[in-house]
Amino acid sequence: MAVLVVRGIHLQVFKKDYLQDKSKYVDTVSISSYRGIIEDRNGEPLAISSPAPSIIISPKELLKDDESVVVQMEKQSQKLHGGEALSASQKADVLAAYRNEKLTKFRQMEKWLNLPSGKIDAILGEKKTKSFVYLAKKVSPGVADQIKDLKIAGVDIRREFKRFYPSGEVTAHLLGFTDAEDVGQVGLEQKYESRLKGTDGKKRVIKDGLHQVIADVENISSPVPGKNLVLSIDQRIQYLAYKELQNAVKVNKAKSAALIVLDSKTGEVLAAVNQPSFNPNSKQDLKESLYRNRAITDIFEPGSTVKPFVVAAALEGGYIYRGNFFDTNGVFEVDDHTVRDVHNYGMLDVEGVLKKSSNIGVAKMALKMPVNYFWRMYSKLGFGESPATGFPGEASGHMPDAKRMRDFDRATLSFGYGVSVSAMQLARSYTALADDGILHSVSLLKRDEDIDAKRVLSQKTARTVRKMLESVITKDGTAYEARVDGYRVAGKTGTVKKAGAHGYSPDSYFAVFAGLAPASDPRLVVVVMIDEPSAGQYYGGLVSAPVFAKVMAGSLRILGVTPDQENTMPLLLARKGG
């Protein structure tokens, strides 16, 4: 008889959703808002938020529910048996049955959520007084629906969203990522947190005895989604640059690398990529060294890539003339130090100094200029100051103190030692050569014009130096590998010894190339920096220039830029046809 009584109560209490209806009440709940979408300049989504509910448990309610079950059993027994009370053993049997059923549901939840068996029991034991504990964050909507159907008192589904990055590693360094609370942690997600973050809404709802929403009552405030962010990045060029840089690091067995593509007319960043990269969709075993945006935050001595600016400064100030010659035979002694070239080039004109990348030649030019005048040229180009993209942690670089510079300091500064820049800063400086003396500010957001552009060189000087830099991309120049079929290219190599704790390393280098195209009316500036190539080659003209050529060629085709070099058009057309 006792068994039948227990069975009857079990069916009444557990099989007819009695508990769900025992105490309906009105509550106020929040409505999560969507985080703004990040898009490339053409509207391609780079970061989006998709529904990903979280599972919440209330240990306090889960444990309290056991007590309420006993009360409900008493009421149901009296209703069924004319006021007859349950014995202590009957209460224990029904409560045990209820707990066993609940434990079965716990095990099922743990299985769906990939939690170790007994995890929920452990939480209830450790946090028995808590009303809110995350059991699992950002689960699939399907799993959330399964758990909701279990109808367990004290278990709730919280509407949330999970950030997803369709481009994965390709844009990881730029975008950064959000944490479990969907708050930006690094990169542009962090920089524009207040813009991207929405405002949650509120509504009144009716909940049942299991604390689950069964009906909406009224909307108090609607959720306001975050604002979208449109970047200057062109995802097509970003992908091209990423793949070419990734391959170059692999082929050259390099430590790391960075690459920047700028629109030389607007200063917009069309691509900014780094190696190594990471997957922002998983973030497992993530280290700071992986998500650091080297193209913007890391600095290096630019080496010979700054030589065009020495020539420009000297021409602009009238300290040299285009027809001047410089004796680069042997070595050049300055302040008891020696300046050397890789080879003995003999007498070189100004263009020849750039073409052969003569340290002696540019050092002699630098020493013709007053210290402050020479220093100000580098300063006007943005060296030593932040490029002001707003990217978290962007580098300002380093400039020496002009008042403390000796002649040898000026000499080494002329071929890119003693000054440090980021790849972004170096690319920005080349816009002055590309846009006829106009230095552009740089932007990671899409814009129609650069209202902060400023003239730092005369049009005549910029065009003269740009024409000279075309000679660097010839067979007897230092960067023949930077040529692009169908287009005139101007640029400069840099092969820079790395500084260490005990001075400059004899076998560790930065291989750098900075260039622009089409040289007749430049549309793009590309800078490539590869850190410690160790597969044999380490010269900028052999390691970085080929990457420049592939990225520049592909980017010009993507943008539909008209070729400006007819004598190589057959090669370009043949490649397109093949």
User: Which pTM value belongs to this model?
Assistant: 0.84
pLDDT tens digits, 465-478: 999 999 999 999 99
pLDDT above 60: residue 565: yes
Residue 128's pLDDT is 77
What confidence tens digit (pLDDT) does each residue in 256-269 have? 999 999 999 999 99
Token couple for 395: 């580098």
What tokens appear for 169 in the block?
């590693």
- Residue 232's alpha-carbon distances to 94, 440, 445, in angstroms, are 66, 14, 4
Residue 427 · residue 417 · CB < 8 Å = no
What is the pLDDT at residue 81?
58
What are the φ and ψ backbone dihedral angles of 366, each rounded to 5 degrees?
-60, -40
In Å, what is the CA distance from 262 to each residue of 19, 171, 438, 494?
Answer: 65, 16, 14, 19
Q: Are 570 and 504 in contact (CB under 8 A)?
A: no
CA-based diameter of the chain, in Å? 118
Q: Residue 421's beta-bridge partner residues?
A: 300
How does pLDDT run across 197-239, given as a tens digit for each residue? 988 888 887 876 666 677 778 888 888 889 999 999 999 999 9
Residues forming a β-bridge with 45: 39
Mean pLDDT of 113-130: 85
Confidence of residue 16 (pLDDT cuts 50, 70, 90): very low
Whether 41 contacts 231, CB under 8 Å:
yes
Residues serving a catalytic function are: 304
What's the rounded Cα separation, in Å, for the pair 141 and 51?
Answer: 7
CATH topology of domain 235-279+295-577: Beta-lactamase (3.40.710)
Residue 41 has pLDDT above 50, yes or no: yes
CA 355 to chain centre: 36
Residue 18 predicted with pLDDT over 50: no
Mean pLDDT of 384-408: 95
Average the pLDDT over 348-354 and give the result. Answer: 97
What is the reported pLDDT for 318? 97
Which is it for the CA torsion 558, 564, 566, 571, positive or negative?
Answer: negative
Residues whose CB is less than 8 angstroms from the CB of residue 125 and which lie 6 or more positions away in sequence, other chains included: none
Has residue 184 got a pLDDT over 70? yes
Nearest to 62 by CA among 112, 18, 103, 91: 103
Average pLDDT, the chain: 88
> What does the pLDDT look like over 329-346, one tens digit per residue?
879 999 999 999 999 999
Structural tokens at position 166:
């369709």
pLDDT band at residue 251 under the 50/70/90 scheme: very high
Domain spans in the chain, listed from the N-terminal domain onward: 2-33+53-159+198-230, 235-279+295-577
Q: Which two tokens stand for residue 177?
A: 């990522």
What average pLDDT score do residues 115-123 get? 88
Mean pLDDT of 490-507: 90
Rounded Cα–Cα distance for residues 416 and 408 (Å): 12
pLDDT band at 1 (very low <50, low <70, confident <90, very high): very low
Counting every residue, how long is the chain? 578
Burial class (CB in 10 A: 0-12, 13-18, 19+), 29: middle
Q: 314: closest CA among 347, 363, 355, 357?
A: 363
What backbone torsions phi and psi does residue 109 show, to the nearest 5 degrees? -60, -45
Q: Who has greater pLDDT, 573 or 516?
A: 516
* Residue whose pair of structure tokens reads 């009695």 in the numeric block: 18
In CATH terms, is domain 2-33+53-159+198-230 a member of 3.40.50?
no
Mean pLDDT of 96-114: 85
Please, which contacts does 135-138 make with residues 24 or more away whose CB atoms are closer than 8 Å?
135/55, 135/56, 135/57, 135/109, 136/54, 136/55, 137/52, 137/54, 137/55, 137/180, 138/52, 138/53, 138/54, 138/162, 138/180
pLDDT attached to residue 388? 94
CA-to-CA separations, 12 to 69, 70, 150, 207, in angstroms, rounded = 12, 13, 17, 21
Q: Check residue 433 and give its pLDDT.
A: 98
